[in-house]
Copies of this chain bind each other. A is one copy, B any other.
Amino acid sequence: MVFNTKSSRWLQLPTSLQRSKNLLEKIERADLKLSVIGLGRVGLPLSVAFVNCGISVIGVDSNASYVSNIRNRRAPFSENRFNDLLGKALASGKLTVTTKSGEAVRASDIIIVTVGTPVTERHNVDYSQIREVLSVLVQGGLEGKALGFRSTLGPGTTEELIIPYLQESTGLKVGRDFFLAVCPERILEGKAIDELHDLPEIVGGADEASKKIFSALFKKLNPEKRIRFLSTTGAELAKLFTNVYRYTNFALANEFGIWAEMYQQDAPEIIRAANFGYPRSNIPLPGFAGGPCLAKDGLFLDNSITFSSLISAAWKLNEAMPQHVADSIKRALGRTLYSKKIGVLGVAYKAGIDDVRLSPALKLVNILTEQGALVEVHDPYVRNKTVSIDRLVRNKDCIILAVNHPEFSKYKAKISQAKPKLVYDVWGMFDRVDFKNSKYMGFGRGS
């Protein structure tokens, strides 16, 4: 078929080649409008990074007060070098933020979707934010535009759900009338800006033109950026494999910690010796593993099978860690945690950030509280409901190092002087000799 019989204007109709060429030229000239939908820890640093490279970005979020805060240059979370860059991006006029997704989509050449895909308490994937975005996209004149999905998606979601929905709702065809790629986020929270520049990008394009467009777009962040191409499903899996690999290895390190405790040995010391100069060992050190990426992403895979897997074994182990710590502390303090005064250092899900989503330290705080302990928390990154370090150490039965924030290493003397009955160290950051007047216990370190 030479021309589209439904169209009376077939000579004028831009071909898919003309459409993609048009987008590639706009990218080349940095003369395009980019929308980023979802201004969380993925979308906002990405928006700022693109503005930083000369591209105009409309940032979209459905939360009006959140958007208003950003507009007033209050960074909603901590990221290295981020406050400064956000301020500059807004001042330059190249970053605008809004709640109006429809307008943003209509005004844009390329739209990148970065909304959250959390799991429910029963571990079902919750795509409600994706559905909301899709309903806007189909009204926004998709023709000639390119869509990138940077949210975590279960394997096959784009091919089996998103593309059919977009095509059937608009009559447009991917690879001809619009372009689409899965470009998973794999940065480390807290190092977003640096890693957006440095890390290679995985582009799971629905077709060759889509691959070219998103490859060109991401090279605006760094002309040297290396790109690996996969199918949309392949890119979804690549993201999940990356996180499941890390999460499972953290679980393995924790299992090693449990073994070491059983045999009264020091797991961090043994793991360091096992890794030392040995080309086939890169075993992580034990400690809490959780958070909205690592603890969650495996469930996207695990949900679809009816048998246990390594993922479910890893999840079980990492999620049981806070209870294991609480039980160890209970045994060390006596027969009950009831009315014990406990200070917890750190509540974020990992070091150096203010994010408490799926945080094992927060889970520990909740367990201790439910068992009747009187718990106070100090976290230099998380100010809400936390107390000062001086108040934290004062008059406690037990002080727990629950997050390995680097700042905590300097509190060693303060803790020692406060003489709690017990210092419990989840991360092996301290040593037995540091506390002459307190019992010291480290996870995975014997006792």
Give me the interface of A with B, judged by CB distance under 8 Å. Answer: 155-156, 186, 188, 199-200, 202, 226, 228-231, 233-235, 237-239, 241-242, 244-246, 248-249, 251-252, 255-256, 259-260, 262-266, 269-274, 276-278, 280-283, 301, 304, 308-311, 313-314, 317
Contact = CB atoms under 8 A, between A and B. Distances in A.
B274 A202 contact: yes
A269 to B, nearest CB: 7
Contacts of A260: 237
A248 B248 contact: yes
Nearest to A198: B277
Contacts of A277: 199-200, 226
Nearest to A229: B273
12 contacts: A199-B278, A200-B278, A233-B263, A234-B266, A237-B256, A241-B281, A242-B274, A255-B311, A309-B313, A310-B310, A310-B314, A313-B313
Contacts of A245: 249, 252, 274, 281-283
A280 to B, nearest CB: 6
Given A245-B282, A245-B283, A249-B249, 12 more contacts: A199-B277, A200-B276, A230-B270, A233-B263, A234-B270, A237-B260, A241-B281, A244-B256, A248-B248, A310-B310, A310-B314, A313-B313
Given A238-B273, A241-B271, A263-B233, A313 B304 contact: no
B244 A252 contact: yes
Given A263-B237, A278-B242, A309 B255 contact: yes
A310 B259 CA distance: 12
A358 B235 CA distance: 35
Contacts of A269: 230, 234
A351 to B, nearest CB: 15
Contacts of A304: 262
In the complex, the 6 A-B pairs of residues with the closest C-beta atoms, listed nearest first: A200-B277, A228-B273, A313-B313, A238-B274, A155-B263, A242-B274
A234 B233 CA distance: 44
B265 A234 contact: yes
B273 A202 contact: yes
Nearest to A284: B245
Contacts of A281: 241-242, 245-246
Contacts of A231: 265
A430 to B, nearest CB: 20
A265 B238 CA distance: 11
A318 to B, nearest CB: 10
B310 A270 contact: no
A233 B273 CA distance: 13
A186 B237 CA distance: 33
Given A202-B274, A259-B155, A265 B237 contact: yes
Contacts of A259: 155, 237, 241, 301
Nearest to A202: B273
A226 B273 CA distance: 11
Contacts of A317: 309-310
Contacts of A282: 245, 282
A238 B245 CA distance: 21
